[in-house]
């Protein structure tokens, strides 16, 4: 990136190691099923006078991806199974919502009143299978203005969604970038959600530093870094959680390793997991 480009981009080059610029793209419209995310991303970049460059990262909130993929479910259209009805009674949730959670999950990890922590079909351990009701449009149906409750499921295959977006953006801009889908998830032992990578493309999601020297030239032991989760968390700071409407974030300055991987690399094997 030369000086002219830097001025055009309205921010300095981050060629030096150790500098990161994180910008939530402005004026992203509410997305409906079938909307093309690549053109929405490109419009957002143009608003910021940003040109995609090799090594840039685009982070998208799970919700905007799910919406563009039409991953809505109307609770009225769900018929809960007996298992869902029993479990719903147990945890005091809507049995139709519990039915959806079960159908999105491989396993129930913990349950308690109001809390249902599952292993999602994607392998991710999270509350309510990532099904969210905030920031989701409600359907108005019938003549009596009845509001039907709609919820939003995770993208069917977030790694594939990232790969498709990465390819589309490469086609439009020529830049080799990485794409991450993040979601706000709860954690064991700690209060508050943090941004986490549920899908990635074009980046080594799990960074393996085994054997790299430390400051005193001794090899590091057993050091793997959940770098895509850190990038997802960083993007989450500027996205906001409430009415900010900033679901697409551009990150510049991270120097990716040569390797690649997917968000699946971040999921610990059940045999190695002490907390299920």
Site for a copy of itself in 175-204 (CB under 8 A): 184, 187-196
From 85-93, 97-105, 167-175, 239-247, span contacting a copy of itself (CB under 8 A): 239-247
CA–CA distance, 76 with 267 (Å, rounded to integer): 33
Beta carbons within 8 Å of 183's beta carbon, 6+ residues apart: 61, 62, 126, 130, 154, 195, 196, 198, 232
CA–CA distance, 162 with 178 (Å, rounded to integer): 8
Of 51, 48, 6, 32, nearest to 169 by C-alpha is 51
Q: Does 69 bind a copy of itself (CB under 8 A)?
A: no
Min separation Cβ 82 and a copy of itself, Å? 25
**What residues between 81 and 140 interact with a copy of itself by CB under 8 A?**
110, 112, 115, 117, 124-125, 133-138
| Of positions 5, 10, 15, 141, contacts a copy of itself by CB under 8 A | 10
- Other C-beta atoms within 10 Å of 255: how many? 10
Q: Does 156 bind a copy of itself (CB under 8 A)?
A: no
Q: Are 57 and 169 in contact (CB under 8 A)?
A: no
Q: Are 134 and 120 in contact (CB under 8 A)?
A: no
- What would the two tokens of residue 124 be? 């991710």
- Give the nearer residue to a copy of itself in terms of CB position, either 172 or 214: 214
Q: Does 8 bind a copy of itself (CB under 8 A)?
A: no
Q: Does 60 bind a copy of itself (CB under 8 A)?
A: no
Q: Does 244 bind a copy of itself (CB under 8 A)?
A: yes
Q: Are 102 and 110 in contact (CB under 8 A)?
A: no
Q: Are 105 and 121 in contact (CB under 8 A)?
A: yes
Q: Does 22 bind a copy of itself (CB under 8 A)?
A: yes
- Give the nearer residue to a copy of itself in terms of CB position, either 20 or 160: 20
Q: Are 153 and 171 in contact (CB under 8 A)?
A: no
| Of positions 156, 224, 257, 259, contacts a copy of itself by CB under 8 A | 224
- Give the nearer residue to a copy of itself in terms of CB position, either 107 or 172: 107
Min separation Cβ 167 and a copy of itself, Å? 25
- Give the nearer residue to a copy of itself in terms of CB position, either 109 or 164: 109
């Amino acid at each position: 990136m030369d000086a002219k480009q830097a001025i055009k981009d309205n921010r300095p080059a981050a060629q030096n190691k150790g500098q990161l610029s994180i910008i939530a793209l402005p004026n992203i419209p509410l997305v409906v099923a079938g909307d093309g995310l690549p053109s929405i991303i490109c419009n957002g970049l143009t608003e910021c006078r940003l040109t995609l460059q090799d090594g840039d990262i685009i982070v998208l909130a799970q919700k905007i991806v799910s919406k563009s993929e039409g991953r809505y479910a109307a609770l009225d259209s769900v018929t809960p199974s007996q298992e869902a009805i029993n479990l719903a009674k147990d945890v005091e949730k809507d049995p139709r919502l519990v039915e959806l959670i079960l159908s999105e999950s491989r396993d129930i990890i913990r349950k308690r009143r109001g809390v249902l922590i599952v292993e999602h079909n994607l392998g991710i351990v999270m509350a309510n299978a990532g099904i969210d009701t905030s920031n989701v449009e409600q359907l108005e149906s019938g003549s009596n203005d009845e509001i039907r409750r709609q919820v939003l499921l995770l993208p069917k295959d977030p790694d594939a969604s990232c790969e498709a977006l990465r390819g589309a953006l490469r086609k439009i801009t020529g830049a080799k970038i990485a794409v991450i889908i993040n979601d706000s998830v709860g954690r064991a032992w700690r209060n508050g959600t943090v941004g986490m990578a549920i899908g990635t493309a074009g980046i080594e999601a799990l960074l393996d530093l085994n054997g790299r020297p430390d400051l005193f030239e001794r090899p590091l032991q057993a050091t793997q870094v959940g770098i895509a989760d850190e990038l997802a968390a960083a993007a989450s700071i500027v996205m906001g959680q409430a009415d900010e409407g900033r679901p697409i974030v551009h990150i510049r300055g991270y120097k990716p390793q040569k390797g690649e991987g997917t968000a699946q690399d971040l999921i610990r094997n059940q045999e190695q997991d002490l907390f299920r």
